[in-house]
Each structure stands twice: as C-alpha cells, then as structure tokens.
Amino acid sequence: ITRQFSCSSAVQSAIKNVTVIGGGLMGSGIAQVAAQAGQNVTLVDVNGDILAKAQKSIGNNLGRVAKKMYKDNPQEGEKFVSEAMGRIKTATDPVSGSQTADLVVEAIVENIDIKHQLFQKLDQVAPDHTIFASNTSSLSVNEIGAVVKRKDKFGGLHFFNPVPVMRLLEVVRGAETSETTYRSMMDWGKALGKTCITCKDTPGFVVNRLLVPYIAEAIRLFERGDASAKDIDIAMKLGAGYPMGPLELADYVGLDTNKFILDGWHKKYPDQQLFKPIPLLNKLVSEGKLGVKTGEGFYKYE
Ligand code: CAA
Ligand code: NAD
C-alpha cells in the first residue's frame, strides 16, 4: 500500500486568508477554528442577523477553549479570545470578502442551484490562485464545481458538527482537483488541528455514507416497534461505544437534514433500499418536529 499524504501535527499552510461563506451552524464553526489557528477570516452571510449571532457564539465557544487552554492564566485566555475574534471580519457581500482570499469555503444552504449561483459569481471576482471548497454533506463536489472555470482548484472540505469539537476533516478530491490543490487543502486542515482523511466524490463521502443509512435503519427499527427510542440509543452507546445513540444524533443533526439527504440520494439511486423514504421521518418533519432546533424530534428538549 502506498502511504497516503496524511495529516500529523502542527503544519504551516500557504493559505493565510480564508473566506467562509454561510455564517450558520457550520460556517461559524469553520470561521472559529480558522481564526483560532491564526488565519485572517472573512465570514460572509446574506443575513446580517445571522452574522451577529455567529459572532456571539464564536465568542462563547472561544471562551470555552480558552478556559481549558489557559486554566491558570485567565488573562492570557482573554487575550487569546480577543486576538482570535480580531481576526474575523464579517460581510454580507461574498464579492468583497473574496477578493483577497487564498481559500473560499462554502457552507451555505444544501441547494445545488444556490451553490451554483454563488460559485459562478465567485469565479469572476476571486484571484486566479484562490481555491474553492464546498462543505456539502450530500451533494456531488463535481456537480457543484461544474460551473467554475478553475476546476483544478475546486474540491470538498467536509467538517462535522460541532466543528470546534469534532476532530475529523474529509478532504474530497473531485475528478479534476489538482495534486497541488489537494495538498493545500490537506495542509490547511492540518494547520487547523484537524485529522484529515482523503476521499473520492461519492455520495456522503465516508462518514455520511455510513452514518445516514445507520440512522435510517435505527428510525425503521423504532417505526416497526422493535424497541423504544431510549433503548435503541442506550444500546448503541453502551453496546457499540458511540457518544450519542442514533435517534439522539438524528435529533442533533436535524430531522429535516436527515430527510433531505435521504430524499436526494433516493432520487438519484432509486434501487438502493437503504435510501428509501421513511414514513415516520416524513411525518415528524411535516409536523415541524425537526429535533433539537425546534424543541422536539424523537425526544423533547427544553
Ligand atoms: N463548541 C465548542 N465546544 C463544544 C461544543 C461546541 N458547540 N459542544 C461541546 N463542546 C465541548 C465542551 O466544552 C466539552 O469540552 P470538555 O469536555 O473539554 O470540557 C466537550 O465538547 C464535551 O461537551 P459536553 O460535555 O457538553 O457534552 P458531551 O460530552 O455530551 O459531548 C458532543 C457533546 C461532542 C456533541 C458528543 O455528544 C458527540 O461527539 N456526539 C456525536 C456528534 C456527531 O456524531 N457529530 C457528527 C454529526 S454528522 C455531521 O456533522 C456531518 C453532516 O454532514 C450532517
Ligand atoms: P445553516 O442553515 O445553519 O447555515 C446556512 C447559512 O447560509 C444561513 O445562515 C444562510 O443565511 C446562509 N446563506 C444562504 N444562502 C447564502 C448565500 N447565497 N450567500 C451567503 N450566505 C447564504 O446550515 P449549516 O447546517 O451550517 O449547513 C451549511 C452547509 O454545511 C450545507 O451544505 C450542509 O449540508 C453542510 N453541513 C452541515 C452539517 C450539519 O450537521 N448541519 C454538517 C456538515 C456539513
């Protein structure tokens, strides 16, 4: 076996200026970890209120990190937080935010048409050397990148929720991603302190290709009445060592997101049994029970 170009400890990245587009759950986390690693970050969202919310949550999460890193030196901790926050600029216009970027990471809604519109615009304004990456969970990186001219500088950088805590980064090589782009993405991931794995552009890459059918099977098990939600979750935590059970995790990721991913794959691969629609999941989503974010899914939340 030839050794893959793999991630290890602290590494210098040629990427210094990063623009993150989408300031929601994932984008705010990606902006935080990049700023924490000393990068200049521009966080872009069409919605100014979301940007204000993102800055607040980044501040809180950096505080959590500082508390651990500087246990005995709160003053240093405060400095760490204010320096990292100082590296994050915000903007509502993706054009202004991308003119000086070495890397643009897209973390906007999971909709191919909206992603296409964004990348078409970015391709015209970003410098020639700028690498574009999508944080998509379930769409094809090649299909998203089909609208840009710089196909050699396009790839996938798939982070996990919560971004500051989850240590993995999936680096997705599209059909035309160049070796130089791939290596730059790997180096950038390492500089952020993530462990990177490499993967081809296949549905769900590695983690979601395994996790989404696993969650789907757990919902089907519950739907059939084979075990209670609580017992299914206890089983997988204590019997298989997962930090959360599958139904808890479904609520955490969002039942709408789970349904959206399954529906998209089912349309594309109608013969794959694992991707078939699940009546109970569809019912919960239609009732607005989307999990933690709406206060109810398989469980109720305060
Ligand atoms: N930001 C920063 N730090 C956070 C955080 C956040 N949002 N959430 C938790 N933390 C930190 C806490 O400060 C705590 O740190 P210490 O232990 O060092 O003090 C640590 O993480 C653990 O947190 P908690 O004690 O609050 O809770 P926990 O032990 O139950 O862990 C969890 C929470 C990390 C979310 C854990 O339950 C877990 O790993 N769950 C599985 C998550 C998972 O599978 N994510 C992937 C989803 S799939 C995906 O993202 C891909 C996709 O495309 C949909
Ligand atoms: P989110 O809804 O929390 O955030 C998306 C943000 O994008 C919103 O704030 C919205 O205002 C903004 N936005 C929409 N269109 C925009 C545009 N044209 N320009 C700028 N901003 C725009 O969503 P999220 O959960 O952070 O997911 C973002 C991406 O990350 C999706 O592709 C998703 O599949 C992927 N992802 C999600 C998770 C997860 O667990 N939620 C995990 C990994 C990857």
**pLDDT tens sequence across 161-190:** 999 999 999 999 999 999 999 999 999 999
pLDDT for 251 equals 98
The predicted model scores a pTM of 0.94
Q: How many residues does the chain have?
A: 302
Q: Give yes or no: 158 in active site.
A: yes
> Which structure tokens are listed for 258?
């789970």
* Catalytic residue of the set 158, 184, 248, 258: 158
Ligand in closest contact with the CA of 215? 1
Report the complex ipTM: 0.95
178 is catalytic: no
pLDDT of residue 119: 98
Query: 30 near 88, Cβ under 8 Å?
Result: no
Q: Given pLDDT bands bounded at 50, 70 and 90, which one contains residue 103?
A: very high
Nearest residue (CA) to ligand 2, atom 14? 108
Residue partners of 124: CB distance under 8 A and separation at least 6:
none
Determine phi and psi for 175, rounding to 5 degrees.
-60, -30
Does the beta carbon of 253 sit less than 6 angstroms from any atom of ligand 1? yes
Is the distance from the beta carbon of residue 256 to the nearest atom of ligand 2 less than 6 Å? no
